[in-house]
Amino acid sequence: MKAFIFAAGLGTRLRPLTFDRPKALVEVAGKTMLERTFDTLKAAGFTDFVVNVHHFADQIVDFLAEHDNFGCNVSISDERSLLLDTGGAIAAARDLLGDEPFLVHNVDIVSNLDIRSFVEEGLAGALARLVVSDRPSSRKLLFDAEDCLCGWINLKTSEVKGPAAARPELVARELAFSGIHLISPEVFDLMEKWPARFSVIDFYLAMSFDHCIRSAVPEGFKLKDMGTPQAVAAFEDYADI
């Protein structure tokens, strides 16, 4: 199985740290986010990776070369000409990801997830399985009694998207997405009619009318989003999670 590391983002929330480098190369407690993500996924058994690049793309390519790709097989999904957003990034990497299920992991997420166990549990008949948790967030995904995605809600504005928008009587569980998901290669054919640039969450919501996008709520799951300078400065080690 391959792992896709999302490393192309502009890192706007991390400014000024990303004025001269990509988010993936911002150091967290002495180690870049990219290296931390590689360490985490290698420990879970991954050896084949796809990394997308856009913002200061050459720095990431050079960093990987300098570190001999951390002893792994690494392919670069080049988004220099256009940042494709999360869904577009997956669609564009089709040839690199192949025809087997694959894991997607945001580069700026640090968690205590047992990734090996999560992957071994598989897709459970779903189009994708999303690691989610009950933690504070202004925007959450909604899951029905069968643990399938049925909507999205902005808790600040009460805006609802997806099947739940037309079913106000639906009792749904509100859970925050972690940026870690296991995806079936079936998504590629379904993405063919989508534009080059689109959000994977928008795609999941559209697919949720006819497909199960399943939640995964690991017991004791915790994460930290390294997306702000404050979070980076406060992080010391994995015991902080």
CA neighbor of 73 nearest in space, from 101, 100, 41, 104: 41
Angle at Cα 79 formed by Cα 74 and Cα 84, nearest 5°?
115
Q: Average pLDDT for residues 151-167, to the nearest whole number?
A: 93
pLDDT at residue number 171: 83
For residue 56, being part of any structural domain is answered with yes
State the chain's mean pLDDT as an integer: 95
For residue 241, being part of any structural domain is answered with no
Give me the amino acid identity at 135.
R
Residue 209 has pLDDT above 90, yes or no: yes
For residue 94, being part of any structural domain is answered with yes
Give the count of beta carbons closer than 10 Å to the beta carbon of residue 18.
Answer: 20
Residue 241 has pLDDT above 70, yes or no: no
For residue 148, being part of any structural domain is answered with yes
pLDDT at residue number 240: 64
Q: How far apart are CA 128 and CA 210, in angstroms?
A: 13
- Which band of pLDDT confidence, cut at 50, 70 and 90, is reported for residue 169? confident
Q: Which domain holds residue 159?
A: 2-235
Mean pLDDT lowest among 82-96, 119-133, 187-201, 226-240: 226-240
For residue 157, being part of any structural domain is answered with yes
Residue 92 has pLDDT above 80, yes or no: yes
CA neighbor of 125 nearest in space, from 55, 14, 58, 213: 213
- Which band of pLDDT confidence, cut at 50, 70 and 90, is reported for residue 214? very high
For residue 205, being part of any structural domain is answered with yes
Residue 61 has pLDDT above 70, yes or no: yes
pLDDT at residue number 68: 97
Q: Give the single-character DSSP code of 167.
A: -
Q: What is the CATH number of the domain that holds 43?
A: 3.90.550.10
For residue 44, being part of any structural domain is answered with yes
32 phi and psi angles, rounded to 5 deg: -65, 155
User: Looking at the DSSP assignment, which residues form a beta bridge with residue 104?
Assistant: 4, 181
Percent of the chain with pLDDT over 70: 98
Q: How far apart are CA 141 and CA 153, in angstroms?
A: 6
For residue 20, being part of any structural domain is answered with yes
Residue 234 has pLDDT above 80, yes or no: yes
Q: Average pLDDT for residues 32-42, to the nearest whole number?
A: 97
Percent of the chain with pLDDT over 90: 93
Split into its structural domains, the chain has a count of: 1
- What pLDDT digit, counting tens, does each position of 96-140 carry? 999 999 999 999 999 999 999 999 999 999 999 999 999 989 999
Give me the residue label for tokens 């549990």.
121
Q: How far apart are CA 188 and CA 13, in angstroms?
A: 30
